[in-house]
Amino acid sequence: GDSVTQMEGPVTLSEEAFLTINCTYTATGYPSLFWYVQYPGEGLQLLLKATKADDKGSNKGFEATYRKETTSFHLEKGSVQVSDSAVYFCALNQAGTALIFGKGTTLSVSS
Amino acid sequence: DAGVTQSPTHLIKTRGQQVTLRCSPKSGHDTVSWYQQALGQGPQFIFQYYEEEERQRGNFPDRFSGHQFPNYSSELNVNALLLGDSALYLCASSSGDGYGYTFGSGTRLTVV
């Protein structure tokens, strides 16, 4: 079945550092890809999404490009802030079906 | 515009008991999905309701059941609670196309 694999965490960075969180997927067909963020004690918030190959999703300085040839959707940010500290989840779904999540990557940013 | 509302926010139950969690979807959404998130893990899909019917189900035992009402709100019921059922239960609503999910803040269930 479809699945998502994320890099193991935690990721610890200093403020203004460059961030990359790797995500690869296995799926039949052409899934949509998502990044969600979860702050402590809260539910999930959609960070960005891409629905077809070569699409770039972006939001709040975060970007990810849907790479069908490498089945990847890596999350990047050029300069992280302390407020970006959270757990990040990569996810996919096919039309009309449930979201399938990776295990999550914890990001900790220090000042 | 209210998003997804879940209740209660926290509860503690004893092993063997039954629990009901509730979810009100975002306005305009007609599909509700439930997820279980164990500590340090990603959310695992339990089931999805659309037009008051279970449309899709994940790999969860029959102890987990649900219901959707005509106003699109939903309940998740778990019978014969086990210690391993302790988790954050998330409700997500969408408009049926399967792409625009909105999540609630979750219900933290602790089984003792």
| CB contact B7 to A (< 8 Å) | no
Contacts of A36 in chain B (CB under 8 A): 103
Interval B9-14 mean pLDDT: 97
Give yes or no for A82 touching B (CB within 8 A). no
Kindly report the nearest CA distance between residue B63 and chain A, in angstroms.
Answer: 20
Rounded Cα gap, residues A32 and A43, in angstroms: 21
Which is nearest to A77 in space by CA: A51, A50, A47?
A47
Residue with tokens 């893990």: B41
pLDDT in tens, A46-84: 999 999 999 999 999 999 999 999 999 999 999 999 999
Q: What gap in Å lies between CA A93 and CA B62, rounded to an integer?
A: 24
Of A43, A95, A97, the CB nearest to B105: A43
Lowest mean pLDDT among A42-51, A64-73, A83-92, A95-104: A95-104
Under a CB-based contact definition with an 8 Å cutoff, are residues B101 and B94 in contact? yes
pLDDT digits (tens, 9 = 90+) for B73-102: 999 999 999 999 999 999 999 986 656 789
**Per-residue pLDDT reduced to its tens digit, B27-40:** 999 999 999 999 98
- B4 in Cβ contact with B104 (< 8 Å): yes
